[in-house]
């Protein structure tokens, strides 16, 4: 793990994605960053898609999972490696939900809780 990698616990035993039991390794640096999207609990188990702004057909997705957050829990989708730039976040019904900016070498956050 390089010095810009971060470990984010998944809190979701048995999920089969890489690192889900022990945490996710975000390998950020140079032109790549990570993204954490916080959602309401109702989205647990739902895949949330993102795409570079203006490239609606070039999407990637991450699964919303319950994750340990300090002494509580949060529901979040984590994108472990995205090229820097602005990303459209797509609501599961297909409409635009928000825009996130990814900076190289850092982990961005977007809070989508309690938004329709």
E-strand spans in the chain? 6-8, 24-26, 32-39, 47-52, 60-63, 65-69, 72-83, 85-90, 96-102, 107-111
Q: What is the pLDDT of residues 79-115, one digit of tens each?
A: 989 999 999 999 999 999 999 999 999 999 999 998 5
Domains of the chain: 6-111 (2.60.40)
Residues 6+ apart with CB under 8 A from 25: 1, 5, 6, 7, 19, 80
The predicted model gives 34-48 an average pLDDT of 95
Contact of 76 with 65, CB cutoff 8 Å: yes
pLDDT at 113: 94
Q: Please report which confidence band the pLDDT of residue 70 belongs to, taking 50, 70 and 90 as the band edges.
A: confident
Given this model, what pLDDT does residue 116 score? 55
Tell me how far apart the alpha carbons of residues 57 and 37 are, in angstroms, rounded to a whole number. 20
This prediction's pTM: 0.77
């Amino acid at each position: 793990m390089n010095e810009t990698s971060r470990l984010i616990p998944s809190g979701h035993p048995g999920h089969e994605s890489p690192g889900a039991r022990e945490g996710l390794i975000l390998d950020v640096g140079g032109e790549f960053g990570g993204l954490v999207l916080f959602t309401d609990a109702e989205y647990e188990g739902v895949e949330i898609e993102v795409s570079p702004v203006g490239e609606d057909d070039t999407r990637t997705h991450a699964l919303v999972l319950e994750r340990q957050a300090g002494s509580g829990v949060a529901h979040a989708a984590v994108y472990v490696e995205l090229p820097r730039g602005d990303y459209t976040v797509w609501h599961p019904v297909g409409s635009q939900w928000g825009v996130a900016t990814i900076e190289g070498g850092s982990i961005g956050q977007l809070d989508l809780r309690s938004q329709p």
